Amino acid sequence: MKEELTIAWRNLWRNRRRTLITSASVFFAVFFAVFMRSYQLGSYDLMINNFIESFTGYLQVQHVKYHDNPVIDNTFELNDSLLAAIEGLDPVVSVTPHLESFSLASSGTQTRGVAIIAIDPENEKRFSDPENKLVRHRISAAALQQLEQHAIPEKVMAKLRKNLNRSYTSPERIERELGLKTTERDTLLSLILKATAVPHGYLTAGDNGVLVSNRLATYLKVDIGDSVILMGQGYHGVSASGIFPVRGIIKMPSPEIDNKLIIMTLTTAQQYFDAGGKISSLVINLNDKSPRTMRTGKAAVNALLKNNETTARTWYELNPILYQQIQGDSQSGIAMLALLYFIIFFGIFGTVLMMVSERKREFGVLVAIGMQKTKLKRTVSVEMLLLGIMGLIAGLLAATPLILYFHYNPITLTGNLASTMEDWGMEAVMPTAMVGPYFYWQALVVVIMVLLATLYPLHKIDKLKVIEALRG
Amino acid sequence: MKVLELKNVNKIYNSSEVKVNAVNEVSLAFEEAEFAAIVGPSGSGKTTLLNLIGGLDTPTSGEIIIAGTDLSQLKPSQLIDFRLKNIGFVFQSYNLIPVLTARENVEFIMTLQQWPEKERNERTEELLKAVGLGDRMNSRPSKLSGGQQQRVAVARALASRPKFVLADEPTANLDSKSAATLLEIMEKLNREQKITFIFSTHDPRVVKMARRVITLEDGRVISDELR
């Protein structure tokens, strides 16, 4: 093997410029492929971290019929020992019970069908964290009137007027929306925050109040301290009704959800629906989102469910559309990479064609003096692999520090894009995915590509006629 | 001792319209330590005959027997191995491996035969010194003159101690001084080490030095003269 390697290596440098150009094309293909893929996978990670961990959870235990028919009758008894057993499983980070159903909500003359999610207020902070979604600032007409009395630049006032009645969950959001300059921020921000501040409150354990989503609150014309009347169908067809004080207004990222959500405590909901001890799901977060952990986690949870009434489902079974969107996007990314590699393949193939045509005579001489064709084929394969591997290693080495840097220091988005992402409960950043299996895939693709290109010289060597080759 | 025997060897090329009998009923035998030249005008079949003897081409009919082995009985891969162990080649245009040094070119044949490293080194040095290139062992072919490259080719041809060396127009690309030096070296190796050399040539200097001259015309042996 040593002489094959020696000849292959030296052959590479016979035409230094051509070797460098071919290796450079592999280098750039690998560099861009790895970098692009890293950003793509990083965005999926972010989406899963932010969305799945705050809404669906990686796993949910549900009544077997609940997924297809999510009604209050398809709920199950919350069992403390089961809860403790699931919490004790190795990959489980948190377990949060939910009871979800529908009712009519009304206040004054306004009525609307709403979704009710019942939670354990303290436990939920580790999951969807509704407290963080409480409306803390609102640009009301009164706030504008108050601000007009101060010397606020007209440009800022125009922005404030444009966003009349808009609610914000944090000072940072209002600051970003107004796009204040550094100098303006120091003088104006505290003034604006003071004028726009609204009271806010969260639920306590056993609280009989509710949190109302922002758009729903506007529709029902309710605010903190007001009450909403709920009326609907409880467990096994009983009539459910009650009056509930509003403790806080929450702003949900999705307008659809923001139009119809009411959150209350689990105990209050169980009383309201006459569903004592019942929950519709146990939402479970895991310490690792790999499909393998998901599979083993699901199997471990299912092993604890000793009846046929409940089952564990993964987030992609619960959110098939989101999962398919990620898969579809991932496939389109792979298609782009395939196109990139397809182009590079022809670059390599061009080099191979020239190499074969230049060295036909030399191949003939080697076989004439006694080199077996298998050995010659091995030498040519090693040469081609070295050509690809040089570009591959250089590409991976160049991409690694950049990927690591942007993984730990992701690009921070600003402006409307940042606000939209935050509205959807996602961090407004663009991180790269940590160096992982996609690296090995690029390596494998390059090796396969080179081996495919090598098939041509191997075929030519196989069919080589020494006399014809020696004639040149 | 007979190292090579040809019995009624024919090579017929069937081109689209014309049938060419490049080698026609040739029967020859070569003894150990011969220094033989195959001569004849262009197109007389010299190179074809040499290719047949070297197992690079197969005869249409007839037998070529080298050290008791009929080449027609060998499979292609066996034939390559047979060439490696029994036949040395010197080509008109040297055909050294350009990426290997003179030493590595000579050593290459022995590496293919998996000789131990120590023996390889000793044999390589011995051969390169014998052809007068003891001081250019680490030079690549591109750094050597035509005559020096052809001397490396002779050393390479002798590396595996073949039964005979086939040299196709070895002096054709050389100036007269280089050609003379090369011929002297080959003649000396033939005389001292009893190595059989078979040349195809137009060069009168080679013919003059040869102890046997076989003349071909239209693929037939028209004279076989011992001197």
Kindly report, residue by residue over B6-26, the tens digit of the pLDDT.
Answer: 999 999 988 767 888 899 999
In this prediction the ipTM stands at 0.91
- The answer to whether A219 and A104 have CB atoms below 8 angstroms apart is no
| Confidence at residue A143, expressed as pLDDT on a 0 to 100 scale | 92
pLDDT at A54 over 70: no
- B95/A467 CB distance under 8 A: no
What percent of chain A is predicted at pLDDT more than 90?
Answer: 43
- Nearest-CA residue of chain A relative to B47? A467
| Confidence at residue A422, expressed as pLDDT on a 0 to 100 scale | 67
Question: Per-residue confidence at A86, pLDDT binned at 50, 70, 90?
Answer: very high
How much is the average pLDDT of A347-364?
A: 88
Phi, psi of A44 (to 5 degrees): -65, -40
**Smallest Cβ distance to A372: which of B57, B77, B104?**
B77
Domain that holds residue B150: 2-226
Q: How many domains, chain B?
A: 1
Mean of per-residue pLDDT scores for chain A:
88
- The answer to whether A209 and A246 have CB atoms below 8 angstroms apart is yes
| Confidence at residue A165, expressed as pLDDT on a 0 to 100 scale | 86
Question: Per-residue confidence at A424, pLDDT binned at 50, 70, 90?
Answer: low
- A368/B77 CB distance under 8 A: no
- The answer to whether A444 and A341 have CB atoms below 8 angstroms apart is no
How much is the average pLDDT of B164-182?
A: 88
How much is the average pLDDT of B58-71?
A: 92
| Confidence at residue A183, expressed as pLDDT on a 0 to 100 scale | 74
- B84/A11 CB distance under 8 A: no
Q: Tokens 């290109």 — which residue?
A: A453
Q: Does B212 touch chain A (CB under 8 A)?
A: no
The H or E element spanning position B6 is: strand B2-14
Measured between beta carbons, the chain A residues lying within 8 angstroms of B156 are: 369
Kindly report, residue by residue over A61-73, the tens digit of the pLDDT.
Answer: 999 999 999 999 9
Pairing relation of β-strands B61-66 and B2-14? antiparallel
Kindly report, residue by residue over A229-251, the tens digit of the pLDDT.
Answer: 999 999 998 999 999 999 999 98
Residue to mutate among A9, A369, A374, A467, with most B CBs inside 10 A, is: A369
pLDDT at A55 over 80: no
d(CA B63, CA B9): 6
How much is the average pLDDT of A114-141?
A: 90
DSSP code of B54? T
pLDDT at A53 over 80: no
**Which of A143-152, A327-336, A407-416, B215-224 is least confident?**
A407-416
Q: Does A4 touch chain B (CB under 8 A)?
A: no
d(CA A410, CA A420): 18
What percent of chain B is predicted at pLDDT more than 70?
Answer: 100
Which residue, B67, B50, B69, B68, is CA-closest to B9?
B50
How much is the average pLDDT of A93-114?
A: 94
How much is the average pLDDT of A365-390?
A: 91
pLDDT at A361 over 80: yes
Question: Per-residue confidence at B161, pLDDT binned at 50, 70, 90?
Answer: confident
* pTM for this predicted structure: 0.68
Kindly report, residue by residue over B132-144, the tens digit of the pLDDT.
Answer: 898 999 999 999 9
| Confidence at residue A104, expressed as pLDDT on a 0 to 100 scale | 97
| Confidence at residue A363, expressed as pLDDT on a 0 to 100 scale | 92
CATH assignment at residue B48: 3.40.50.300
| Confidence at residue A425, expressed as pLDDT on a 0 to 100 scale | 63
Which residue, B56, B161, B160, B167, is CA-closest to B108?
B160
- The answer to whether A351 and A22 have CB atoms below 8 angstroms apart is yes
Phi, psi of A109 (to 5 degrees): -95, 0
pLDDT at A176 over 90: no
| Confidence at residue A230, expressed as pLDDT on a 0 to 100 scale | 96
How much is the average pLDDT of B59-78?
A: 92
How much is the average pLDDT of A164-173?
A: 85
Shortest distance, CA A360 to any CA of chain B (angstroms): 12
Q: A411: which strand partners? A: A430
Shortest distance, CA A379 to any CA of chain B (angstroms): 13
